[in-house]
Amino acid sequence: MRLYRHAPDSAVSHLQNSLSVCRDGVSNQVYTFFRFSGEKECEILVDEMPAFVKALEELNSTAPISDGMPPVYEAVRRTASIDANGRISFQLHSTESGFEEPTIIQDSEIKDIVRILRGILPQIEAAAKNV
């Protein structure tokens, strides 16, 4: 039973329905996979998930970008922008050609997304040990 109701096409609903933890067969690294929208899948190293959550928490703050954080934190903080319709866009990874296609979520959903991710970090880390 879910405590909060969200529209079926909301970023929160997509996140809740798509979260998984998998080991890459080539690199042997463990990733968290999820979606904020129907088509774009996000892929983050499990070890970098706490930094990703911290970056999302800081999107609407004036806090300086912390030094020594994992690449996902810096990518999110340095590329984040908000448009007139309240849509936040950011990139998760840098690439040789610059940055990937942005991830876009509604500003109104950030707090719920952070709450969900922060709440399930222990389960993600536990799952990563068993993958």
pLDDT tens digits for 24-60?
988 889 999 988 886 778 899 999 999 999 999 998 7
Query: Which CATH architecture best describes the domain 11-129?
Result: 2-Layer Sandwich (3.30)
Give the pLDDT confidence score for residue 96 in this predicted structure.
60
What crossing angle do the helices spanning 49-57 and 71-79 adopt, rounded to 10°? 20
Model's pTM, two decimal places?
Answer: 0.84
pLDDT bucket at 4, cuts 50 / 70 / 90: very low
Q: Which amino acid is at 79?
A: T
> Are the C-beta atoms of residues 69 and 76 closer than 8 Å to each other?
no
